[in-house]
Amino acid sequence: MVETEAASIHLVHPDTYGYCLPHIEMLVKAGFPSPADDYLEGKLELTKHLVDHPSATYYIRVSGDSMIDYGIFDHDLLVVDRSLEPRQGDIVIASVDGELTCKALAIKNNVPYLKSGNPSYPPIEIKNKETMIWGVVIHAIHSFRNRNR
């Protein structure tokens, strides 16, 4: 058996660290039950709030300006849910001839096509192309500091 120097080592559980915010913060005086105890509701978890289907959700980082009119900017982080049925108007990740891209799903005269969020990029006709909707973009996370987050 190997002896170790440290007196005790504890696990820091990742779920309780990093992306949680305390919901109620209160100083509790020793000896008195906190009046807020009845209202304790746990923590707000951003991942849970943003992600409905964890095993179908993927993250993608984008670069470029073709979607700025939809509020997707260079270096934004996209949260993509594959389990959703794509609807008209959705921002989607689509695979066009084997190339993945981010566009809006639009329909004109009953024919679906892919639309950019920037007038300088022409819309993409889906017909005659090997096209598949890869997933539906449910959030674009735009950071102002730490742009690599």
Partner 1 sequence: MMIGLIDCNNFYVSCERVFNPKLENRPVGILSNNDGCIIARSNELKPFVPMGMPAFKISPDLQKKITLLSSNYELYGDMSQRVFKTIQNYFHHVEPYSIDEAFIHLNEDQKTVGYCRNVQKIIKRNTGIPVSIGLSSTRTLAKIANHIAKKNKKHENTFCLDIHGPDFQHILENLPISEIWGIGRRLNAKLITMGIENAWQLKNCNPKFIEQHFSIVLERTILELRGISCIKLTDFYTSKKNIVASRSFGQSTNNLFNIEEAIRFHTFRATEKLRKQQSIAHAILVFLRTNRFHDRALQHNPSLAISMSYPTDDSREIIKTAQKGLHNIFRAEYHYHKAGIMLLDIIHKNQRQLDFFTYTQNNQLIKRNDNLMQVIDRINQKMGSYTIFIGGQTKKAKWHLRREQLSQRYTTRWEEILKLRI
Check residue 112 for interaction with partner 1 (CB under 8 A): no
**Stretch in the footprint of partner 1 (CB under 8 A) among 11-19, 24-32, 34-42, 104-112:** 11-19
Rounded Cα distance, 24 and 21, in Å: 9
**Do 23 and 43 touch, CB atoms closer than 8 A?**
yes
What residues form DSSP beta bridges with 139?
79
Other Cβ atoms closer than 10 A to 72: 21
**Do 82 and 135 touch, CB atoms closer than 8 A?**
yes
Selected from 28, 39, 58, 142, the binder of partner 1 by CB under 8 A is 58
Nearest approach, Cβ of 29 to partner 1 (angstroms)? Answer: 33
Name the DSSP letter for residue 82. T
Check residue 8 for interaction with partner 1 (CB under 8 A): yes
Check residue 147 for interaction with partner 1 (CB under 8 A): no
* CA-based nearest residue to 140, from 96, 99, 93: 93
**Stretch in the footprint of partner 1 (CB under 8 A) among 8-16, 27-35, 44-52, 104-112:** 8-16
What does the binding site for partner 1 look like in residue numbers (CB under 8 A)? 1-4, 6, 8-12, 14, 53-56, 58-64, 66-67, 72, 82-83, 93, 95, 98-103, 132, 134, 149
Q: Could you give the residue numbers annotated as active site?
A: 66, 103
